[in-house]
Amino acid sequence: MSNSRSLIFRLLTLAAIALSVSLAGCRPRGVLSSSEMEDVLYDLHFTDGVVSVAGWRLGHDTLRYECYTFVLEKHGITQAQFDSSLVWYTAHPLLFDKIYPHVIDRLTESKTELDSLVKLTEMQLSKKSNSPKPSEEKVKQEIDSIIKQNIYGLKPVILRLK
């Protein structure tokens, strides 16, 4: 009898643990899926980088807000939905920790693409001017011109801000 009670207690304990582990991963309605959250975080971090490189660090809160709002609109979500999702994922760090390596990989890939663009631009400018290495200012101007043409989906916001 004592063995059967012990067995039942162990089974109930195991079932309770299994249930609490499975419920911990259930997202409430309105919280972004992990892939949606990854996409939004990538775009927000990328935008933050573009805004910072463009020199809009301090005193340009309106411009920064416009860019972030554009990203949220692009994903069809509100600030409240993003905030709720961020709070939920922060409360579930094991799930959040699965998202960020993907975001970092994507940002690294974008940086590699942009570095390649810089090198290609340097080579093209060197050929045009018949000099071994164009000035840093000339490369920056050319890159700025290319980026302004299509800034990874931020073009509408950049044009609206000018």
**pLDDT tens digits for 54-95?**
665 555 677 778 888 888 998 999 999 999 999 999 999 999
Q: What percent of the chain has pLDDT over 70?
A: 58
Averaged over 36-63, what is the pLDDT? 77
pLDDT of residue 156: 47
Rounded CA gap, 42 and 64, in Å?
Answer: 16
pLDDT at 23 over 60: no
pLDDT of residue 31: 94
Is the separation of the CB atoms in 37 and 85 below 8 Å?
A: yes
pLDDT of residue 35: 94
**Residues contacting residue 82 through CB under 8 Å, at least 6 positions apart:** 32, 40, 72
Taking CA 15 as the corner, what is the angle to CA 13 and CA 16, rounded to the nearest 5 degrees? Answer: 65
pLDDT of residue 36: 95
pLDDT of residue 75: 92
* More confident site: 20 or 59: 59
Whose structure tokens read 């259930």?
A: 26
How many C-beta atoms surround the C-beta of residue 26 within 10 A? 8
Whose structure tokens read 């409240």?
A: 80
pLDDT at 107 over 70: yes
Rounded CA gap, 124 and 15, in Å?
Answer: 66
* More confident site: 121 or 91: 91
Averaged over 127-136, what is the pLDDT? 68
Rounded CA gap, 38 and 44, in Å?
Answer: 10
If you average pLDDT over each of 26-30, 48-52, 77-81, 113-117, which comes out highest?
77-81
Rounded CA gap, 6 and 12, in Å?
Answer: 10
